Amino acid sequence: MSDRKDLVQRFYKEVFENGNVDAVDDLVTENAVEHQAPPPGFVRKPGREGIKDECRVYIEAFKPMSVQVHEQYEDGDTVITRATFTGTHSGQFGPLPATGKTAAVEAIDITRYEGDKAAEHWGLIDAVAMLTALGVIPPME
C-alpha cells in the first residue's frame, strides 16, 4: 500500500471513527479545496478550517461511525477510494433530527495530494440509500 493510500485511511480512522477533528491539521493543506456537496443547511467556509467544521457535522450526526475501505487506486498525486461509512443517526443532520437508525452509505472519494497532505477532495455518497435507511424516503420498489 502506498503512503497516500495510508493517509486516506488515516483520515477516515482519526477523523471519522475517532472523532479527532484536530487530525485534519496534519492531513490537509491549509488552503485545501472541498468539491463534495455540503451537508444539508451547511454553509462551507474555505480551506482546512471549513473542512474541519464540515467533518464535525458528520461526526456529531452519526455516532458512532465506522469506515470500511473496499478498494483504493493511486494515479500520480491522486487516490481514489471506494468505502462504506456506517453510523447511527444520533444527532441533528441539517433539518433532520436524530432518528436512532443506522445507515450504511457507499462513497467514492477522490483525493489529490500535495506532498503528504490532501489539497483537493471530490466525494460522492449514496444519499438516496442514506435517506431510505433513516426513514426519510420510502424504499424504492
Q: What is the pLDDT of residues 91-123, one digit of tens each?
A: 999 999 999 999 999 999 999 999 999 999 999
60-74 per-position pLDDT tens digit: 999 999 999 999 999
Which stretches of the chain are DSSP H helices?
A: 3-11, 24-27, 47-61, 127-133
Domain ranges of the chain: 3-133
pTM given for the model = 0.94
pLDDT at site 141: 76
Per the CB < 8 A criterion, the answer to whether 57 and 65 are in contact is no
Task: Give the phi and the psi of residue 11 in degrees, each rounded to 5.
Answer: -60, -50
Chain centre distance of CA 114: 19
Domain range 3-133, its CATH number among 1.10.357.10, 3.10.450.50, 3.10.290.10, 2.60.40.420: 3.10.450.50
Cell 472519494 identifies what position? 109
Residue 81: closest CA among 43, 36, 37, 136:
36
